[in-house]
Chain A
Amino acid sequence: MYNPGSGQRFVILSIFTAVVIIFLIRLFYIQVINESYSVSATNNVLRYITDYPARGMIYDRKGKIIAYNQAVYDLMVIPKQVKDLDTAEFCRLLDLSRDAFLDKMKKASTFSKMKASIFEKQISAETFASFQEKLYKFQGFFVQPRTLRKYPNNTAAHVLGYIGEVNDELIAKNPYYRQGDYIGISGIEQSYELELRGRRGVRIVMVDVFNREKGSYKNGAYDTIAIAGQNLVATLDAELQAYGEKLLQNKVGSLVAIEPQTGEILAMISSPGYDPNLLVGRVRSKNYAYLLRDPLKPLFNRAMQAYYPPGSTFKLTNALAALQEGLIHTGTTFPHSFVVGSKSVKCHPHPPIALEGAIQYSCNPYFCNTFRTFIDNRKYGSSEKGYRLWREYQMSFGIGKKIGVDMPHELKGLIPSVEFYDKYYGSGRWRASTIYSLGIGQGELGINPMQMANIICIIANKGFYYTPHVIKQIGGKANLTRNLAEKHYSMVDAKNFDIIQDGMQRVVEAGTARIARFDSVTICGKTGTAQNPHGKDHSLFVAFAPRENPKIAIAVMVENAGYGATWAAPIASLMMEKYFNDSIKRHELEERMFNGYLLPLENKNPEIPSGSIKDSSQVKPKARGNGTTALLENRRNKR
């Protein structure tokens, strides 16, 4: 027997052992020491699937739905799984051309052959219904439900706002949002975004190499459940809102109605408006660009952003400040003119009058005198100090500051500061006679209809207001996101309001706004005619009713429409009639308002000549059309 002994056996076993030891070391390294493989394994197999919660719905104060979600369907495709497709039938069902089909397929394949991508966005429920029956034939295609906003009444676009996909800037700022998420961009959709959006959920699923779902990861231990957005109840009266929009059709203007005893906004209209459904879904960007180009600026919410001179309506707060300071009283009379240098402010003939009559007849000299009595009063030491106090009074009525409406993009308006006039005229070189037109609501004043309506609420409540708001309930509970139950007091005591209300009642019963009367409702109102350097004066009317237990305060502004009594007062009155009676008896008046066409004929947007104001560093001309600059220009022309 030949046996070369144990040498070879030793060598062979050594080689076996060496290889096994090398393997063990290698295995120890990749399995125990190196962690990166575990991470790769997790990435391989886990997919994070977002569950989008339904956005909260919005109801009006009477429970009518004004915003809800409409189901649409994104058609998804996984190119690799598409097999034996009947292209002709597929295209017919989706109403696609063959080229469009090939184009979309190519796009999807370029993105990924294995992963799902959107083939067709937002298929309507109708198209989906017929498509769904055949879906089983189209391997590789599936449908992902999404929601689109729907505004069934086609009204209140400025109040509701709209939603759109988040942009990169927002994603960088707010870590909640991801690419493809929707966010409220204006109106309620924006200011109540947090409540409406709910919370996105994430499902972690395991997938195989073909991206097919294989079940939940660790039985869903790390999943978060999507929480649906909360439903909101708005303070709006959808019917009143729609009626107001109809009254303001073919007019440029704005209307705000508030319930004085709660601060609830019953209607907020900016005309021309637009159908909120225009800014939904696939057509949004196209329509948005179209609306943006419109010279009448339908996207611009005049109710909260326009700067209008308040005109005669401003006489009310002017008088209230003087009453509170004891500078005038019920029986105070003034000469029937107000003379400044070579100019004088005159009034149309009327009998000698005290405060009530001055309001009734909207007597300009009376309120210029009242203004001068206040500003130049010796008891304050100087006109500047007098003006500073007077301005404080005005601001306590919510003028020249944001009143905190629960909507985005509120502007504070303008009431010039002492420093502004010091800079404009020189310190100590101005007095009441220089700026007297403020006393009658002209000049460098900018007030938006929301603020006007709020002032009327203060008058109706005899001294205080609740912050005007559009949302009263969130998820079935009172809206506690803002301080809505707090009374904000003006600087004027309740007792001083009676005489003002008397005057306002006279305005409607026997003064400039007799047209506003209806039934036996006691209406307190005040007309205004705001001078406008670009054309016809703006027609203005503010009112509340009934005088005892006021239910509605309203401010109406119709641009370039002439006297307050011509358009604004009838519109406000019809709104009240609608709100109280739910029906209109004055059909003739209603028809006249519906049919009134007051749009500029050429539809041309008045451009503000730039550089017309040399010293405007204090004034930031923010508003469009009727901005501060225009007002200042107006003021100079009058000097």
Chain B
Amino acid sequence: MRKQKSIFENIDWLLVGLYIVFVLMGWLNIYAAVYNEEHRNIFDMSQNYGRQMLWIGTSLVIGLAILVIDGKFYAAFSYPTYLVVMLILLVVLVIARDVQGARSWIEIGNFKLQPSEFAKFATNMALAKYLSSLGIRMEDMKTKITAGLIILFPMTLVLLQNDTGSALVFISFIFVLYREGLSQNVLIFGFFAGVLFILALMVPNTILLGVIGGLGLLAYFLLRKTRKNLMAILAITALSAGVVFSVDYAFHKILQPHQRERIEVLLGKRSDPKGAGYNVNQSLIAIGSGGLSGKGFLQGTQTKYDFVPEQSTDFIFCTVGEEWGFIGTSVVILLFLALLYRIVFIAERQRSQYTRIYAYGVASIIFFHLMINVGMAIGLAPVIGIPLPFFSYGGSSLWGFTVLLFVLIKLDSYRMYILR
């Protein structure tokens, strides 16, 4: 093992470049979203865009710091980091005040931090550390359970903070487990469970159960009647029926009223453009009115004049859509796709299993955020408040993603030297 000659040696500049592009685009769009005549200065600290500049500046410092620290540190300190963050999450649960229904903020004077943004990073580290340990095989039940616990513990804590959106992000680690050998059946079953969930809400249960039973019988007659097939048919039918039954319970007992409403709006069961459907409706209007090439920088009216709520945070994509049009939105989405491809490419070129798992974790988290955030803005996902990575206004979120990405960049820069 030898020392790096420079901290910038082997840095993946493409990743850094994408990061800079995203952050700057985000900043300009935050400026456009809350721009008003009284505060024209993009550095005005009383406005979100001014403060975002501060977050960007500090993020760059954090990024640089991460690059300076010896790469061995991250793998080594995975578990301690995880433990510390979990501890903070617990503390937050006790001391945090209610902010719009969620208890997820730590306040130190004027400074507010959302630890759940860092929980994703810490969990990713711990998961990578665990799965890359010697003698760990995905096939083992023990591995599955331990990995599951590593993910579910922070997820539960965040859920208890009433921050459903951030909690759901932990589901994305299923991609990591799949990459590391978890059966594809999990993905397939997950997909069908999702479809069933939606169907259960749309179609009366009796009909749905009838169809499931019918499909089971059809499979029974069509497939060869081996013992294995019979077992599979029976298991799948029973599981499907179980999902259908549990959906009703989950939907009415576990979900909160506003969450139920949002899902109903999404499924078209409820039309309420002034109430529960207001956000989505206004968001669609803002994006839809952008047309092919958009209204132009600072020319958007829907976001600027507050028709779209949370226009600088969760609904920042509306500003992109309104002012830059379809050209703008497709460029942003394709850039994200490029980022994801690059991260997966980086993952696959690692000799270090830790780095590979970590990289997949990063890709999964970013993908999940993109899917939910953009999906909700264009009416394809329920309204779940999670930020668009690098774009949305907010210090915790930007810091969180910066740490996530720059640790990957640092780990990747060691790809030539070591095998961990």
User: Measuring CB to CB, which residues of chain A are less than 8 angstroms from any residue of chain B?
Assistant: 1-4, 6, 8-9, 11-13, 15-17, 19-20, 22-24, 26-28, 30-32, 34, 36-38, 40-42, 44-45, 206-210, 214-215
In Å, the complex CA distance between A207 and B302 comes to 10
CA distance A38 to B284 in the complex (A): 10
Q: Are A13 and B341 also in contact (CB < 8 A) when A37-B285, A41-B301 are?
A: yes
A44's closest neighbor in chain B, by CB? B307
Indicate if B244 sits at the interface (CB-CB under 8 A): no
Which residues of A have CB within 8 Å of B285? 37, 40-41, 44
Asked whether, in the complex, the Cβ of A41 is within 8 Å of the Cβ of B302, the reply is yes
Known: A12-B179, A206-B301. A27 touches B329 (CB 8 A): yes
Q: Residues of B with Cβ closer than 8 Å to A?
A: 37, 137, 175, 178-181, 184, 187, 282, 284-292, 301-302, 304-307, 321-322, 325-326, 329-330, 333-334, 336-337, 340-341, 344, 348, 351, 353, 360, 363, 367, 370-371, 374-375, 378-380, 419
What is the bound-complex CA distance between A215 and B299, given in angstroms?
13
> B178 contacts A31, CB within 8 Å?
no
Query: Which residue of B is nearest A12, CB measured?
Result: B175
B348 to chain A, nearest CB (A): 6
Task: Tell me which residues across on chain B come within 8 A of A19, comparing CB atoms.
Answer: 367, 370-371
Q: Is B353's CB under 8 angstroms from A2's CB?
A: yes
The smallest beta-carbon distance between A45 and chain B, in angstroms, is 4
The answer to whether B305 and A215 have CB atoms under 8 Å apart is: no
Question: Could you give 29 example pairs across A and B, Cβ below 8 Å?
Answer: A1-B353, A9-B179, A12-B178, A13-B340, A16-B341, A20-B336, A20-B337, A23-B378, A26-B378, A27-B321, A27-B330, A28-B330, A31-B288, A31-B290, A31-B291, A31-B292, A31-B329, A32-B291, A37-B284, A37-B288, A37-B289, A40-B288, A41-B286, A41-B289, A41-B322, A44-B301, A45-B305, A209-B305, A214-B305
Contact yes or no, A32 B344, CB < 8 A: no
- CA of A12 to CA of B343, assembled, Å: 12
In the bound complex, what is the Cα–Cα distance between A36 and B285 (angstroms)? 8
8 interchain residue pairs of minimum CB distance: A37-B288, A41-B289, A208-B305, A31-B326, A209-B306, A30-B288, A45-B301, A38-B289
Contact of A27 among B287, B305, B344 (CB under 8 A): B287
Q: Known: A20-B334, A23-B380. Contact between A37 and B287, CB under 8 A?
A: yes
Please name the residue on chain B nearest to A34 by beta carbon: B288
Q: How far is the CB of A624 from chain B (nearest CB, A)?
A: 56
- Give the nearest-CB partner of B329 in chain A: A27
Interface of A is mostly: helix
| Cβ of B325 to closest chain A Cβ, rounded Å | 6
Whether A22 contacts B301 in the complex (CB less than 8 A), given A12-B178, A41-B286, comes out as no
Does A45 lie within 8 Å of B334, measured CB to CB? Answer: no
Give A129 Cβ to nearest chain B Cβ, in Å: 32
- Are B287 and A24 within 8 A (Cβ)? no
CB-defined contacts of A40 to chain B, threshold 8 Å: 285, 288-289
Q: Is the CB of B301 within 8 A of A31?
A: no
Residues of chain B with a CB closer than 8 A to A28's CB: 326, 330
Contact check: which of A6, A16, A26, A206 meets B340 at CB < 8 Å? A16
A2 to B354 alpha-carbon distance, docked (Å): 11
Residues A32 and B292 in contact, CB atoms below 8 Å apart: yes
Complex-state Cα separation, A26 to B378, whole angstroms: 7
B378 touches A27 (CB 8 A): yes
A2 and B137 contacting across the interface, CB-CB below 8 Å:
yes
Cα–Cα, bound, A34→B284 (Å): 11
Set of chain A residues within 8 Å of B348, measured between Cβ atoms: 6, 9
How far apart are A38's CB and chain B's nearest CB, in angstroms? Answer: 4
**In the bound complex, do residue B374 and residue A23 qualify as a contact, i.e. CB atoms below 8 Å apart?**
yes
Most buried by A among B326, B334, B374: B326
Q: In the complex, A46→B56 CA distance in Å?
A: 35
Name the residue of chain A whose CB is nearest to the CB of B326.
A31
Distance in angstroms from A31 CB to nearest chain B CB is 4
A13 closest partner in B (C-beta): B344
Q: Which residues of B contact A37 (CB under 8 A)?
A: 284-285, 287-289
- Distance, CA A88 to CA B125, complexed state (A): 65
CA distance A209 to B337 in the complex (A): 34
Q: Is B288 a contact of A41 with CB atoms below 8 Å?
A: yes
**Within the complex, what minimum Cβ distance (angstroms) separates B288 from chain A?**
2
* CA of A91 to CA of B385, assembled, Å: 46
Known: A9-B348, A12-B175, A16-B341. 13 other contacts (CB 8 A): A2-B353, A4-B181, A16-B337, A16-B363, A23-B333, A23-B378, A26-B379, A37-B287, A37-B289, A44-B301, A44-B307, A45-B301, A208-B304
